[in-house]
Chains A and B, each alone.
Chain A
């Protein structure tokens, strides 16, 4: 078996991973709907973070950078995953596997989210899980506030009419 070069992490990186991974992984699951892909997305972002760690920590905002990278990587991720130029390394699955199918409710949310476009899903997670304002959401995604509002409206319309979700409050007059 080939021995891989395994460099030592930069100072403070391991602590950051320990402190922030759970929250980032939750958002990653909501974006991808799959535990393995969520872990893969998170590790992709952490790998990028590692490479830029010195400059990011100089700016004092590793969490903000990681969050932005998580969402922007996700938005542009599918095409890279499915292109012929896929890197030879397969995504590493998380130890736990995907437990989404164990709950009908969870699966309903996962399927409802899967029906949204990637931008809409990112907007919904940033607005409703990360509790970001329209302005901050726009900053993270690198788009206009108007785009966030439009995507948010479309996403809500889709969730509201999703037959699998009990979002009936939305239908109240």
Chain B
């Protein structure tokens, strides 16, 4: 087991809180079993009543144009009128939400009795705002020329491939619902192809489906306008604090000079209770005079002094070109500097004056 494996194992096992068991877990399970049996019986009874009802009324319904009381049926099986993706598929707002083809295939297949007139697709996409920042937006799309996609949804799964090429990836599937003329909806299972991805017929029909965006809503901000304008990340790992907790501290040394070209400074602050990560405060590409002054101060840094104080504010100073070195500077506390370059990572001692030079909006 590697040190990383041990770290993960330790973290996971240490993270589980003391979990209180219910007084009678077996009883709770028994009640669930009982409720399932009740529902089963109720469902059977409903089917019997429906069958008897159809036996009496079916001919009249078919022949006389009397419509099925859809509202009554709908009301008996849940809030069945389509409302919106935002309300129906809130999981779309989760970080890294990913619906796999296997999960989509597990859903009940489209019943022959359900006649879709529209397909609704719930998704999310990152959108740039006029101020340069970016938001993760929920998006609801609706398509009404549904014949091809409905036909594809009614196909069975293909037999799983036992030979031939298949990508070793985890195929995804769209969050898709179909809506009928009465506004009732269901999420149908999406048939799988031979490689356990959605069937090609479905994929092609989905690609060909003409949709209209009917709603968008903001899920969360991904990049603030200020961070976007400065070219900095919205958050950054508190690298010096994390490095200080490891057994193998970098050797003392002097930061190396920046390569030619502009240098960017990004300042972060570690919020209370968010140890380990700093949130963006301000950042900029340094004007020449500030760049020279900061570089000189970095190159003049001596060996680190013993100190355990934790700085809640730190900066990343690095070349816009992306080339080394990357300098992490504590803007308080011990005023340490950590510099990573081609020669490895070194620790050096900064001063309050360097912090002042850096921490200017």
* A residues in contact (CB < 8 Å) with B: 4-9, 13-14, 17, 21-22, 25-26, 29-30, 35, 38-39, 42-44, 46-47, 50-51, 75-76, 78-79, 82-87, 89, 92, 94-100, 102-110, 114-117, 119, 124-125, 128-129, 144, 146-147, 150-151, 156, 159-161, 163-170, 172
Report Cα–Cα, A161/B276, bound state, in Å. 11
- Residues 158-211 of B at the A interface (beta carbon under 8 Å): 168-170, 185-187
Sample of 13 more A-B contacts, CB < 8 Å, known A43-B29, A151-B170: A25-B21, A46-B29, A51-B33, A78-B91, A92-B22, A95-B21, A106-B15, A109-B11, A119-B170, A129-B12, A163-B278, A167-B4, A172-B248
A115, B96: Cβ atoms under 8 Å? yes
Pull 5 A–B residue pairs with CB atoms less than 8 Å apart, ordered by A: A85-B77, A94-B19, A96-B19, A105-B15, A128-B8
B38, A5: Cβ atoms under 8 Å? yes
Report Cα–Cα, A108/B103, bound state, in Å. 28
Report Cα–Cα, A38/B169, bound state, in Å. 29
Would A5 and B37 be within 8 Å (CB), given that A38-B19, A76-B103 are in contact?
A: yes
Chain A interface mostly helix, strand, loop or mixed? helix
Measured CB to CB, the closest approach of chain B to A18, in angstroms, equals: 8
B245, A95: Cβ atoms under 8 Å? no
Measured CB to CB, the closest approach of chain B to A129, in angstroms, equals: 5
Report Cα–Cα, A55/B143, bound state, in Å. 46
A14, B168: Cβ atoms under 8 Å? no
A82, B89: Cβ atoms under 8 Å? yes
B94, A114: Cβ atoms under 8 Å? yes
Would A129 and B9 be within 8 Å (CB), given that A150-B169, A164-B274 are in contact?
A: yes
Report Cα–Cα, A110/B32, bound state, in Å. 28
Would A172 and B30 be within 8 Å (CB), given that A75-B103, A147-B168, A166-B242 are in contact?
A: no
B90, A82: Cβ atoms under 8 Å? yes
Would A46 and B25 be within 8 Å (CB), given that A51-B33, A124-B8, A156-B8 are in contact?
A: yes
> Is B72 interfacial (CB-CB < 8 Å)?
no
Measured CB to CB, the closest approach of chain A to B167, in angstroms, equals: 10
Measured CB to CB, the closest approach of chain A to B321, in angstroms, equals: 22
Measured CB to CB, the closest approach of chain B to A12, in angstroms, equals: 12
B26, A84: Cβ atoms under 8 Å? no
Chain B residues, Cβ within 8 Å of A87: 39
A94, B21: Cβ atoms under 8 Å? yes
Measured CB to CB, the closest approach of chain B to A142, in angstroms, equals: 9
Chain B residues, Cβ within 8 Å of A106: 14-17
Q: Give the top 4 A-B pairs by smallest Cβ distance, nearest first.
A: A96-B20, A163-B277, A109-B15, A5-B34
Report Cα–Cα, A119/B196, bound state, in Å. 15
Which residue from A25, A114, A128 sits with its C-beta under 8 Å from B95? A114
B77, A29: Cβ atoms under 8 Å? no
Which residue from B29, B107, B238, B246 sits with its C-beta under 8 Å from A79? B107
B4, A169: Cβ atoms under 8 Å? yes
Chain B residues, Cβ within 8 Å of A103: 17
Measured CB to CB, the closest approach of chain B to A31, in angstroms, equals: 11
Chain A CB count within 10 A is highest, among B8, B236, B237, for: B8
Would A43 and B79 be within 8 Å (CB), given that A35-B17, A167-B4, A168-B246 are in contact?
A: no
Chain A residues, Cβ within 8 Å of B13: 129
Report Cα–Cα, A68/B246, bound state, in Å. 37
Report Cα–Cα, A144/B167, bound state, in Å. 12
> Is B71 interfacial (CB-CB < 8 Å)?
no
A117, B98: Cβ atoms under 8 Å? yes
CB nearest neighbor in B for A83 = B187
> Is B23 interfacial (CB-CB < 8 Å)?
yes
Chain A residues, Cβ within 8 Å of B276: 108, 163-166
Chain A residues, Cβ within 8 Å of B95: 114-115
